[in-house]
Structure 1
Amino acid sequence: MASTSISALLERNTELEQGTLESEARVAELQVLRASMERRLRQLDQQQTGTTAQRESEARKIREADVQAAQREAARVKLEARLKNELAQGDIWFDTTRPDALRVELSERLLFEPGQSSLTAQGVEELGRIGAVLAAVEGHAVEVSSHTDDLPAASGTGVGTSWELSSARATAIVRVLMEPPARIVPERLSAIGHASFRPEVPMDSPQNRQRNRRVELTLSPMPVPPASLLATLEPTPPPLVPVKAASGGKSSKKSGRR
């Protein structure tokens, strides 16, 4: 009987040990499962946070675009009021087909003598009035594009090819827009010469060629620089200059020079 009792105890002890091992294995399995679930919850939380941030960013962009569109429309209304005569004579047009930009087109005869790259006095005055309105639209750039017709440049004008003429005209306009009364900063300006290769209408008549000889001022939101460029544009604080302590207990005298 004693032998039987000992055998039973040993068997029972083995069962308990086996049960303990199985329990520990189950606990370890549950811990792994719990850790996996916690990771999944964190991922879902991050995704939800990212989705919310993305929605907020998109809503902010829409609001900014609406504000910018209202600014461009206000600028167009001001220009129409200032340029009634030019609009009536067909020397200025507005193009609002692009939802993100306002384009003002000016006839060559309003700004330049035929074949010349120097602005006339009237041209400088017109650009000053237009530029002052465009400059007031914050957060926008002004692209100056100059166009010619497909006829070769007249001899003796000194402008070379149509490429050179259109580029010189665009540059001359940019210079005027940087001066009073517009005072547009250079970072907001760009100058492009297209020669005759982007006509508005076919080059099949004197009237159409005159229509194509034009300058375009396009007002559009400034592109956002990449973060890497913004970091380089951050102002660097001046180095700290150590202050020397007065020696020998002598009082210091201020110099009269500045």
Structure 2
Amino acid sequence: MEEARSPRRARRRAWRPWALLGGMVVLSGGGGVLAASSISALEARNAQLEQEANESEARVAELQALRVSMERRLRVLEQQQQGATSLPGDLRKARELGTQMVRRETARLNLTAKLKEELTRGDAWLDAIGTEALRLELSERLLFEPGQSNLTPRGTEVLARAGAVLAAVEGHTVEVAAHTDELPVPAEAETEGTSWELSTARAATVVRALHEGPARLAQERLSATGHASFRPVVPSDSPVNRLRNRRVTLMLRPLPEAVPAPATPPSPPAAAPALQASKKTAQR
């Protein structure tokens, strides 16, 4: 029995070297596969890094071009600013004119809303005088009885509405001018003097109403003028036209610029005592 086991041991010993050799071959093959996959991964990573480097270089070039463009734009803006600051008075004046136009346009829209009924019926007229002023005209029958200078209740109410809008326009005056027509006043009518006196009295009445009424316009912003019949807007050849000419005009204008007072020339300085003494010595 011992002899039967000996041949089997001998055969196992004979196969052992070959098994070891096969294992080594298998291991070496697996290592090659792993090595090949590692090399492929490294090559892929290297390609990715090269691509990222190229993209970074392109981005850097783009940023440099953007920086150059921004520097150029900044220089242009600085030059423009230097040119603008060389004319501060003109720029300030242009800005103020624009502000005044906006204020008058706002007043025009507000007056259109406040006096919608009167404008529609033809008892009021509203228009802009170029870019310099805003003109509101109110018919005589809207404010006064014929030949009278006292406001009617309706006239007082209309001026309250219009005055509230005009008072809100900063930096502007309100010039009030009253007009009549050329027809002589009938002797039996109770009038207040001549057409000159009537128109002047009506202008003063409107100014007083704007100052003392709800609007509370400052006196320095108001002026009153009577023109009698000498500034008609249409020929006075019909009752309708004569009614159109009998009106009160409220002109909204910017405040005139203040004129600086002339500078007082300085008085010559008194001579110093030492200088006076030297002059006396020279005379001797």
| Per-residue CA distance 1:205-254 (angstroms, 9 max, x = gap) | 1111000000000001011222129x9xxxxxxxxxxxxxxxxxxxxxxx
Which of 209, 213, 222 is residue 180 of structure 1 equivalent to? 213
TM-score by length of 1: 0.67
- 1:196-207 to structure 2, matched below 5 A, reads 196-207=229-240
For residue 186 of structure 1, what is the amino acid of its counterpart?
A: Q
Would you say 1:75 and 2:107 are equivalent positions?
Answer: yes
Task: State whether residues 95 and 104 of structure 1, in contact with CA within 8 Å, keep that contact through their aligned partners in structure 2.
Answer: yes
- 1:48-127 to structure 2, matched below 5 A, reads 55-127=87-159
Q: Which has the larger radius of gyration?
A: 2
Question: 1:192 and 1:145 mapped to 2: Cα distance?
Answer: 5
From the two aligned structures, give the one with the greater helix fraction: 2
For residue 70 of structure 1, what is the amino acid of its counterpart?
A: V
SS at match of 2:135: strand
Question: 1:128 and 1:54 mapped to 2: Cα distance?
Answer: 46
SS at match of 2:253: strand
Task: State whether residues 165 and 195 of structure 1, in contact with CA within 8 Å, keep that contact through their aligned partners in structure 2.
Answer: yes
Question: 1:59 and 1:187 mapped to 2: Cα distance?
Answer: 28
Q: Mind listing any 5+ residue stretches in structure 2 that lack a counterpart?
A: 1-82, 265-284
What residue number does 2:185 align with? 153
Question: 1:180 and 1:74 mapped to 2: Cα distance?
Answer: 22
What residue number does 1:166 align with? 199
User: Larger deviation: 151-160 or 124-133?
Assistant: 151-160
Deviation at 1:52, TM superposition (A): 7.2
Question: 1:170 and 1:180 mapped to 2: Cα distance?
Answer: 15
Q: Mind listing any 5+ residue stretches in structure 1 that lack a counterpart?
A: 1-50, 232-258
Paired residues, number: 180
Question: 2:153 and 2:86 mapped to 1: Cα distance?
Answer: 51
What percentage of aligned pairs have identical amino acids?
58
Instruction: Name the Cα RMSD after superposition.
Output: 1.8
Task: State whether residues 153 and 159 of structure 1, in contact with CA within 8 Å, keep that contact through their aligned partners in structure 2.
Answer: no
